[in-house]
Structure 1
Amino acid sequence: MKAKLVPIKNCVEKAKTWNPVAEAKDEIITYIDIAAVDNDLKKIVEPTLCLGSEAPSRARQLVQKNDVLVSTVRPNLNSVAVVSEKFSGATASTGYTVLRSLPEILDTQYLFHWVKTDYFINEMVKLATGQSYPAVSDRIILNSQIPLPSLEEQRRIASILDKADELRQKRQQAMEKLDQLLQATFIDMFGDPVSNPKNFPVHDLEFVASKVTDGTHHTPKRETSGIPLLSARNVLMGKIDFLNIDFVGEEEYERLRKRCEPKRGDILISCSGSIGRVSAVDTDRPFVMVRSAALLKLKKDIVTSKFMEYLLRTPYLQSQMIRSSKSSSQANLFQEPIKRLKIFLPSIELQENFEKFIAISTKEKEKLVQSNDKLEALFKSLQNQAFSGTL
């Protein structure tokens, strides 16, 4: 039997807002921006640590355990997550609608599963406005309706979907552990860059780079389709996101690539807002960037791209980048500080051995991805049954 439909706003309470620039200027805050949520895992994975005085203007919403975050921008990507105990007390961007369930009416996990359904996603896409940067408002999300059976039935449905989701999560955790293994292998092969126990030569980063630049400083002419235009939000840790993108036409692309033309083997760094997310370019797909992402072109006779990516991902280099960033309304990492980052440089032979290990691990990860796709299809089927009243 289908449950009655009720506006979400009738089942949630409002989260507290604050201004960390004024209220916690000397404190370190955890900031959950749009890029902090992994679209695939539906988890908060990469929040930013920053001084309250340097918090972005959108850092306003105080969240707590069990809040459900729903991104208002690009609803087709379904960037949603539940706040875990680890991030309780963090500050979320106003780019999220924070849904805090009234426990006597709505089960948190039931709500979380609902906002992941195709029905909810399609409704948000339909109601979104803005051609190049589609978005919905808090009001649209809060006014949308959710099937609301009894709490007992909500918990039964959530329990079934949780168990099915657990299978997917195990595959995803296996992929996460593989990434952790690669970082651990880096430390095992090269040592901690803080202490440099193997006494590798130390240089400024510009020693290994033939070019350090960033994307255009002028507002590009955007199109609804064409060649991808990336920004800091597209540079994730170890991955470039080609889903959440803008586009430029051929003529604009030709103009922009004169300053910054990423190629396979280059390194990208997010350098505005969320500082220090790093990924090697592993595609031949043409794209250009705006100012918020930096580009390193490496001297390939002395350094490999994956070595440089994993070096820049170490806590030591991450802390250097954060310390080197300057802030007005938000943190920015400029070209000169990037050039001055201190790195160690093992032999190219040792770096190439690391590259071989990366290549083997990448094949294993591809197998896990294929298995996860099958589990995803099974989960979607159960999800549709659950909210149509046939489970």
Structure 2
Amino acid sequence: MVKRLYKFPEILFFQEGPGVRNHQYTTSGVKLLNVSNLRNGKIDLTTSDRYISENEAFNKYSHFLCDPNDFIIASSGIKIDSFNSKMGFIHQSDLPVCMNTSTIRFKVLNKEVLEIRYFMYYLKSIVFKKVLTKVVTGSAQLNFGPSHLKNMSISLPNLDIQKNIVQRLDRVNKLIEIKRKLLFQLDELVKSRFVEMFGNPIINDKKYPVFKLKDISHKIGSGVTPRGGDSNYIDKGVAFIRSMNVYNNTFKKENLVYIDKSLAKQLSQVELFSNDLLLNITGASVARCCIVPDDILPARVNQHVCIIRQCRISNVFLEYCLTNESYQEYLLLLSNKNGATREALTKAQVENLEVIFPPLTEITRFVRIVHQINKLKFA
């Protein structure tokens, strides 16, 4: 396959949005396109309510008004793992809409050379992300602009090959989306079965016996973050779990880091075992909960995640009890009662959480249902 290397400015027009000030915002007029409008690889203008007056939009900022098929990406305040979702195309139904700060739009200069969706897939590639991480500013979040982009290049095959690749990737993405929807429906099925069988675990409408978590657990305790933070992480070794890996009923391996065996030995008090439950106890992700997957063990856990090791009740049942909608609302409310500047659950609060204890026959039946549905999910 013959390819040619192009600098971005040779084949693309790109432009960063203006820095519109707070005092310029209005409640109607022309919508401002913000980073918050870029969700799941699409543009959703319903997620914000910032406007500027039509007078400013069509005069002072007329050269920032979007056109149909403009390709938009976020350029500030995002993490590398979420970059794929922070982009999308402008549609006719979105207009009129004006660029705002931290967004960049692209237009193809020569449609005989570049298919814009091919460029989109390139930006989602590992190759581009490696380039991006070398040039961007900001530590935890990406911050870049046209000054960075003008020095970047892309290797392009001929247009027919680009279109063929785009068609294939589009088909793959459609299959992925179908699978994602199916998984969501199966997850909702498990949650509805829990409520159907056990009711609301907070109000305990089925009058089950109630125990404090500390009375039915072998271990409850947060992890430890070693001195040096990120400098301890290596490419391979013992898994080190952080709150960003813990989601409700799901463990995400993206951004999973590792530490060496020597450091892992020093952190032996926070070693994880099969079937341990993980509960986030600080920050915006507080209350998220899942079971540690066996395939990432051996593992250790940092200070923002609590280990719950059961001895008297099923870990699967407890996971769905703690992630029940009513219980999540209760945990979030509890996390805001400590007077801190950020959400947090203390060890005492976790230990004293009250958990319903249905008959073991019913718990066992529910666990079987979960396992059966998981087989469908991972088939």
Bin of the TM-score, shorter chain as denominator length:
0.5 to 0.7
Task: Tell me the TM-score normalised to structure 1 length.
Answer: 0.63
Structure 1, residues 147-187: CA drift from partner, whole Å, max 9, x if none?
A: 99xxxxx9999788555522321122111211111111111
Report the AA paired with residue 201 of structure 2: P
Tell me if the contact between 2:222 and 2:347 (Cα under 8 Å) persists in the aligned partners.
yes
Correspondence for 2:348 = 336
CA distance in 2, matches of 1:174, 1:348: 30
After TM superposition, the structure 1 = structure 2 runs for residues 204-353 of structure 1, keeping only pairs within 5 Å, are: 204-216=212-224, 218-219=226-227, 222-224=232-234, 225-258=236-269, 260-273=270-283, 274-283=285-294, 285-299=297-311, 301=312, 303-325=313-335, 326=338, 328-353=340-365
Change (3 A) 1:147 1:250: closer
By how many angstroms is 1:115 displaced? 2.2
Unaligned runs of 5+ in 1: 20-31, 45-65, 85-96, 149-153, 368-391
1:101 pairs, out of 78, 85, 105, with 105
Could you report, residue by residue, the CA deviation over 1:313-337 in whole angstroms, capped at 9, with x for unpaired residues?
Answer: 1122212221222464532222111
Structure 1 match to 2:60 = none
Residues 196 and 17 from structure 1, CA distance in 2 versus in 1: closer, same or farther, beyond 3 angstroms? farther
AA at the equivalent of 1:305 = N
Q: Label 1:275 to 1:17 Cα distance change in 2 as closer, same or farther (>3 A).
A: farther
The equivalent residue for 1:386 is none
**How far off its partner does 1:308 sit?**
0.7
TM-score (normalised: structure 2): 0.65
Answer yes or no: is the 8 Å Cα contact 1:266–1:298 preserved in 2: yes
Residue 275 of structure 2 contacts residue 315 of structure 2 at CA under 8 Å; is this kept in 1?
yes
Superposed, 1:66-81 pairs within 5 Å as 68-69=73-74, 75=80, 77=81, 79-81=83-85
Between the aligned partners of 1:275 and 1:265, the Cα distance in structure 2 is: 20
Gaps of at least 5 residues in structure 2 are: 23-34, 44-70, 89-100, 157-161
What's 1:138 paired with?
Answer: 144
Following the alignment from structure 1 to structure 2, what is the Cα–Cα distance between the partners of residues 160 and 217? 43
Contact 2:238 2:259 in 1 (8 A): yes
2:8–2:149: 8 Å Cα contact kept in structure 1? Answer: no
Which whole-Å CA distance do the structure 2 matches of 1:189 and 1:16 have between them?
Answer: 53
Q: Return the alpha-carbon distance in structure 2 between the equivalents of residues 165 and 248 of structure 1.
A: 34
Aligned equivalents of 1:318, 1:280: Cα separation in 2:
16
Distance 2:226 2:165 in 1: 50
Structure 2 residue corresponding to 1:188, chosen from 182, 190, 196: 196
CA distance in 1, matches of 2:74, 2:226: 32
The alpha-carbon deviation at position 135 of structure 1 amounts to 7.9
Q: 1:330 to 1:113 in 2, by over 3 A?
A: farther
The match for 1:91 is none
CA distance in 1, matches of 2:333, 2:193: 26
Q: 1:254 Cα deviation (Å)?
A: 1.5
How many equivalent pairs are there?
308
What amino acid does structure 1 have at the position aligned with 2:213? Answer: L
Alignment-mate amino acid for residue 230 of structure 1:
I
In the TM superposition, what is the alpha-carbon distance from 1:2 to its structure 2 partner? Answer: 7.5
- Displacement of 1:83: 7.3
Change (3 A) 1:160 1:101: farther
Q: Within 1, Cα distance between the matches of 2:314 and 2:19?
A: 47
Inter-CA distance 123–317: structure 2 relative to 1 (3 Å threshold): same
**Bigger CA radius of gyration:** 2
Q: Verify: 1:13 aligned to 2:16, yes or no.
A: yes
Partner residue in 2 for 1:203: 211
Q: Which segment drifts farther, 287-296 or 233-242? A: 233-242
- How much has 1:205 moved relative to structure 2? 2.3
Separation (CA, whole Å) in 2 of partners of 1:311 and 1:177: 19
Give the secondary-structure state (helix, strand or coil) at the position aligned to 1:338: helix
Call closer, same or farther: CA 1:170–1:223 in 2, change over 3 Å. Answer: closer
Distance change in 2, residues 1:110/1:184 (3 Å): farther
Cα gap change, 1:212 to 1:108, in 2 (>3 Å):
farther
> Is residue 119 of structure 2 the alignment partner of residue 117 of structure 1?
no
Q: How many angstroms does 1:11 deviate by?
A: 2.2
Contact 1:128 1:136 in 2 (8 A): yes
In angstroms, what is the RMSD of aligned CA positions?
Answer: 4.5
Amino acid at match of 2:123: V
Question: 1:207-251: per-residue Cα shift (whole Å, max 9, x none)?
Answer: 322221011154267142321111111112222233412222222
1:11 counterpart letter in structure 2: F
Q: Which moved more, 1:243-252 or 1:346-355?
A: 243-252
**Which letter does structure 2 place at the counterpart of 1:253?**
A
- Change in CA separation of 1:316 and 1:118 when aligned onto 2, cut-off 3 Å: same
Aligned to 2:183, which of 169, 175, 181? Answer: 175
Equivalent position amino acid for 2:316 in 1: K
